[in-house]
Every structure is written in structure tokens, then in C-alpha cells.
A and B are shown apart, each in its own frame.
Chain A
Amino acid sequence: MEPLRFIAEDGARADPFPLSPEELTRGYREVVRARVFDERALTLQRQGKLSVYPPYKGQEAAQVGAALALDPGDWLVPSYRETAAALACGLSMSQAILYWRADPAGWRYPDDLRVLPFYIPIATQLLHAVGVASAGRYQGEDWVALTFIGDGGSSEGDFHEALNFAAVFQAPMVMVVQNNGWAISVPTEKQMRNPRIADRAAGYGIPGVVVDGNDLAAVWHVTREAVARARAGEGPTLIEAVTYRVGPHTSSDDPGRYRSADAGAAWLARDPVSRLRAALEGLGVWDDAREEALRAEIAEEFAAAVREADAAPEPEPQQIVEQVFETMTPDARAAWEVLRRG
């Protein structure tokens, strides 16, 4: 299987092309938002204003493209890497900043946002996606669950259990593997013998698709088809989005310890953002003025988000025991009193 692609590295569009110019413009906007957030978040982290932050540079199209295929009412079940997907699903930048600032206010998303918390234990979230998807079926809802995992995560038992379980029950879900070449320091070729993760779908009797993860049009298109299949009761799909982790694993990581400085050089030419811009220019719907306006708008969105996050009240120590059980237990109440007194 070769990765499906609709936009060449130079921005040339395949014919037929799956997205309208309006969709492509919307996708570009989200991809630039994601890029700006990521770059500035990493800077904030370096300034000591965020806690550990897992950047996703280079993977914006894989996440945004998949997220845009969802309808209102659908669910996103992300791992730590998927801030871009969460932003595209409606998480506000200020909320995301507070989240990665480790502020409890950041963990509490708006009630109507169908985005689960970022999960850290690798692959655990895939099973929650199966459950969320099935819950819709039980309740007569037609929602679909979209979940993500990395190439390294595909070695976990939960990856296999989730695919098998989802397949057996034809759960309306879509699983996107972002094959970004690395699991911290371990390259994909040391992670698996067959590097085509999408091939594994056959083992579970479900469709598997491999797509150029740096091509927003391709990711959006295949995810949209997978979401439609899921909604129609035709079960789950495994999508492998081939991409590259351009930056460090997290803000605490130094990739120089395990890969050469030019390891990802070829990937810079495949950058999802500039490629998309070239495609829009090719369509004649984009120019420098529009680019400038968009960049200015997003810069202001980020600046406003930082102001909002900075204005959030300091969390109180006793808050830590408030949300362990729905109602505080006698022990928790006693701990609460002690913490409050300081």
C-alpha cells in the first residue's frame, strides 16, 4: 500500500480533488492555528510558563485533517500528542494553555465539548473510544468516536485489544495512527517488523488505509469516508497517517541524543503547512495579503489566550482532594480542612 496523497510536495493538486476551495481554506486556517499554537507553546514552556509540553510540529495536517472530518456531536479521544486535534475540535487556546500549564482550571473543559482528557498511558484511550462509540449505539445516537495513537503505541496490547473489540462489535469509531517515525528514541523500524501499520487492519477484518499524513486533503478525505462508514453502521477503520515528528518528543527531550541533526531534513520539504499554502495559491484563492491577515488574527488569538490564562485564579491547595470522588469522603474532608488551613 502506498500512502494516499492529493497534494504533492510542491502543492500540485491531484485530479479529481476531494475538497472544495472553501474546505481547503478552512483546513489551512486550522493548520496554521495549530502550528502557531505549537511554536508559541514551546516558547512559553522555555520561559517557564508551561509545564512539560509535547509538541506536534510536522503532524498538524494528520491531526487537523482527521478532526475536521467529525460532525458536531462526535467525540475526540486523544493522547498527549493531540493538542492540534483538540483545538480543531473546539478546545480554546486559553484552555489548552492552562491545561499544559498544569492548572486545574485547564483540565475542566466546557460541559458540551466532546473531547476526553489527554491520556498518557499509551494506548489506553483506544478502549475508551470503543466504549464511547458503543454508548452512542445503545442510546440511539449516531455519534462517532475518533481516537489517535502513535507508531510506538501500536505495539501495545491495548492496540490489538481495541481493534479486535471494535471490529467484533462494529463500533462506530475511527482510529488514526500517527506514524511519526519515532517513539521517544526508538525508530519505527525497531518497533515493528512490518512497517505498514495499516496492514494490520486485515488481521481484524476491518478496513485499513494508509495516507500521507502531511497532506491535509488526503487525511480529511479518508477520515471523512471512515466516519461515514462508521455512522452508517459499517464499523471501525484503521488509518495510518505517515508523518514525521520534526521536534523533540516533549519539551524535556533532546533528540540530539538519538538521531542526527539532519535526520528529518527530507521532511522539511514535506511540511504540511507550506504544502497546503502552495495548493491554495495554485487554486488562486490565497495570496500574501490573506496570509498576513490570517497570521495577524491568529497571533491576536494566541495573545488573548495568554492574557486569559494569566488571569485565571491561582488554584487553592485543598482543590486536590475535591475531585477524587464525586462527594468528598470523610478522610478527604479531613485532608481538605488541613490543606485549607495551609
Chain B
Amino acid sequence: MTVTTPDRPQVAPESATATTTYREAVREAIRAAMRADDRVFLMGEDVGRYGGCYAVSMGLLEEFGEERIRDTPLSESAFVGAGIGAAMAGMRPIVEIMTVNFSLLALDQILNTAATVLHMSGGLFNVPLVIRMATGGGRQLAAQHSHSLEGWYAHIPGLKVVAPGTVEDAGGMLAPALTDPDPVLIFENALLYNREGPAPDPERPVDLVHAAVRRPGRDVSLITYGGSLHKTLEAAEALEQSGISAEVIDLRVLRPLDTETVLASVAHTHRVVLIDEGWKTGSLAAEVIARIGERAFYDLDVPPARVCSAEVPLPYAKHLEEAALPSVERIVAAARKVVGGG
């Protein structure tokens, strides 16, 4: 099996309108950050000449040169560790890891150092490092290439974990991530790279603090993030057709969680479904439900529900993979059940 460049597109022509793709939004955010700040540099596997395995950094080598768009040896632990060291010594590195599955080779660096050095140095050394990686399934890349482990990372105090689900966030979250003194992990769901949407507006910067209400509603709160956001919005649309008004909350920031926005939504819908591409057991969905249980138990009219990935290594075959991932149909069904309509 050759594992190379899933859905690697041609470079899209410069768009004159205010819409762009998720991929281009990330690229332009990197470009803007590098133009604005000499301390910012990008490193990772194939980020230079090749333009990144999802073509995010295409064209940046030409503008910024090899020092600042740095192709590294195949060494996840090394380039994450070196990014940490560089961040402690005054730089603002952006490290790209091909996918979350391969970030596991750098887990020691991320957990034992990036997330602990501030504590271990009594506040002296921040690690202002940004690590970007692709996550998620749906591209038939099978069991070692498709997982959604952002919930694991959100387990770790000391890390900020974000999952841009919109084009605006894909581009907008990088700048605040780079100015954040703490290490920030950005999870880019690989199915989103080709998605088009309104471009980030420099006049309206986004934050790394709040969840967003992507669609207001009355009857049920559908809480999700990242790659599941669009499926959830589609499900909300379908529910609307049958008279169910669903509110869609995009968590955006998986750590620290914006519990208040979640609770505010539950307080007026009284019903909740979590949609999370991670595995159900020990998932981020479980954490959100636990928080609702702790602080808003009596706001709930019915027990909460979850739509997560099947608890299996992600299958290779298309229809089997689809069966394993959250789908619009499963979200609609779960919402109907919670609302009492099905």
C-alpha cells in the first residue's frame, strides 16, 4: 500500500471574492504570520518543496526559503522536541505533523515537556509552540491513518487544543495560537481542506476561548467540533424539515473547554446530543456530558445521547468506514430519539 498524498489538489487560483478554502485559509495565515514576525518558522515532513502532504504550505518555500520552511528528517520526536527547544529560546515555531496517528511518536515531547516545562521551571520557561496536524477519517486511509485523537490531547493540562471546523477558524486561529504563551495544538480535519467558506476577516479576529453557536435552536443542543460540524449542521437542516429546531454548538476549543456556552444552550433546549468523531469510551463527548451532569443535571429533560465513531480500528473499505463514522443519518436519528420523535 502506498500512503502518500490523499486528495492532494492542484494549487487553486487566487480567489477574488471573500470566500476561500480551508487549506488556503491555513496557508494564508501561515504566510501572514511569517511576514509579520521573524521568529515564526514552519517545520515538518515534506512541508517545503512538496508543499505539505495536504498541500497547505504550497508556495511558501519560494517566498520564505529553506531556513524558515524547513523540511525535516523523518523524526516526529525530533522536530517536535526541537520545536520545543526553539520556542523556549525565543522562537515561535509552527510544527506540522502529517497526521495525528504519527504524532504518537512525539507524545513524550508533547506531554512530558511541552505541557510540563512551565510548571517545572516555576513559570520561567513558556513553550510558545504551535503544532498543527491533520486528523480524522473518511478518506479510506485505514486503521493507521484516520483516527481522531484530539480528545486524548485535550486530556492533558498545559496544552491548548483547538479544532477549527470552519474556514474562518482554520485561518483565524493560527494568529492567536502563535501569540499564546502556551503550547497550542491545532487539529485540522483532513476532510475539511477542500471546503469553501467565508475567508477569515482580519477585522474580526477569532479567539481561543469560546465555543460558538453555529445555529440557534430551541429543541435540542447538538454539540460537536471539527470534522463533525458540517455533518451536524446538515442534520440540523434535516431536523428543521420535520419541525425540530436544533441548536448547533461548535466547541472550537477542546481545552480549555468553554463550559458556560454549553450550559447556556442546555438551559434552554433541555436536551443534548454530542457528536464526536473520537471513540466513545473516555471521549471528549463523555467529558462534556459529565460537565453537564455535574452542573446542569436538572436542566435535562431526558438522558443525553452520543454519536461517536464505532469502537474499532477505522476500516479500509469505503462502506465499512462510513459505517464506523458519525453520519448525518445517525445524528438525525439520535436527535429525534432525544426529542421524542423517533
Judge whether A297 is part of the interface by a CB distance below 8 angstroms.
no
Judge whether B119 is part of the interface by a CB distance below 8 angstroms.
yes
- Scoring B residues 107 to 126 as 1 if CB is less than 8 Å from chain A, else 0, what string do you get? 01100110001111111111
Is B122's CB under 8 angstroms from A130's CB? no
How far is it, in angstroms, between the C-alpha of A119 and the C-alpha of B112 when the chains are bound?
A: 9
- Scoring A residues 105 to 132 as 1 if CB is less than 8 Å from chain B, else 0, what string do you get? 1111101000011011100101111111
Judge whether A326 is part of the interface by a CB distance below 8 angstroms.
yes
Judge whether B300 is part of the interface by a CB distance below 8 angstroms.
no
Show the binding face of A for B, using Cβ within 8 Å: 75, 77, 104-109, 111, 116-117, 119-121, 124, 126-136, 138-139, 145, 157-158, 161-162, 164-165, 168-169, 322-326, 329-332
Judge whether B91 is part of the interface by a CB distance below 8 angstroms.
yes
In the A-B complex, the 4 residue pairs with the smallest Cβ-Cβ separation, listed nearest first, are: A131-B85, A127-B81, A108-B122, A128-B85
Judge whether B181 is part of the interface by a CB distance below 8 angstroms.
yes
Is A162's CB under 8 angstroms from B124's CB? no
A120, chain B: closest CB distance, angstroms:
8
Is B73's CB under 8 angstroms from A165's CB? yes
B13, chain A: closest CB distance, angstroms:
33
- Scoring B residues 11 to 26 as 1 if CB is less than 8 Å from chain A, else 0, what string do you get? 0000000000000000
How far is it, in angstroms, between the C-alpha of A220 and the C-alpha of B284 when the chains are bound?
A: 52
Judge whether B39 is part of the interface by a CB distance below 8 angstroms.
yes
Q: Which residue of A lies closest to B82 (CB)?
A: A131
How far is it, in angstroms, between the C-alpha of A330 and the C-alpha of B291 when the chains are bound?
A: 13
- Scoring B residues 66 to 84 as 1 if CB is less than 8 Å from chain A, else 0, what string do you get? 0100101101011111111
Is B78's CB under 8 angstroms from A165's CB? yes
Partner of B88, one of A108, A126, A128, A165: A128
B77, chain A: closest CB distance, angstroms:
5
Which residues of chain B (256-312) have a CB below 8 Å from chain A?
Answer: 256-257, 259-260
25 contacts between A and B (CB under 8 A): A77-B85, A107-B119, A108-B121, A108-B123, A108-B124, A117-B125, A120-B112, A127-B81, A128-B84, A130-B78, A130-B82, A131-B81, A131-B84, A131-B87, A132-B86, A133-B85, A158-B78, A164-B75, A165-B73, A324-B118, A325-B157, A325-B158, A326-B180, A326-B182, A332-B256
Partner of A75, one of B39, B87, B89: B89
Known: A165-B72, A165-B79, A326-B181. 8 other contacts (CB 8 A): A130-B81, A138-B41, A158-B78, A161-B78, A169-B70, A323-B122, A330-B260, A331-B259
Is B91's CB under 8 angstroms from A138's CB? yes
Number of A-B contacts (CB under 8 A): 143
Is A132's CB under 8 angstroms from B122's CB? no
Judge whether B6 is part of the interface by a CB distance below 8 angstroms.
no
> Which residues of B are found within 8 Å of A168, using beta-carbon distances?
72-73
Q: Contacts A121-B108, A135-B86, A139-B90 hold; do A157 and B77 have CB atoms under 8 A apart?
A: yes
> Which residues of B are found within 8 Å of A132, using beta-carbon distances?
85-86, 88-89
How far is it, in angstroms, between the C-alpha of A326 and the C-alpha of B84 when the chains are bound?
A: 16
Which residues of chain B (160-201) have a CB below 8 Å from chain A?
Answer: 160, 180-182
> Which residues of B are found within 8 Å of A138, using beta-carbon distances?
38-39, 41, 67, 86, 91
Is B158's CB under 8 angstroms from A324's CB? yes
A73, chain B: closest CB distance, angstroms:
11
A334, chain B: closest CB distance, angstroms:
10
Q: Which of B113, B117, B122 has the most CB of A within 10 A?
A: B122
Is B85's CB under 8 angstroms from A129's CB? yes
Q: Which residue of B lies closest to A135 (CB)?
A: B89
Is A325's CB under 8 angstroms from B88's CB? no
Q: Which residue of A lies closest to B257 (CB)?
A: A331
Q: Which of B78, B109, B120 has the most CB of A within 10 A?
A: B78
- Scoring B residues 138 to 163 as 1 if CB is less than 8 Å from chain A, else 0, what string do you get? 00000000000000000001101000
> Which residues of A are found within 8 Å of B89, using beta-carbon distances?
75, 131-132, 135-136
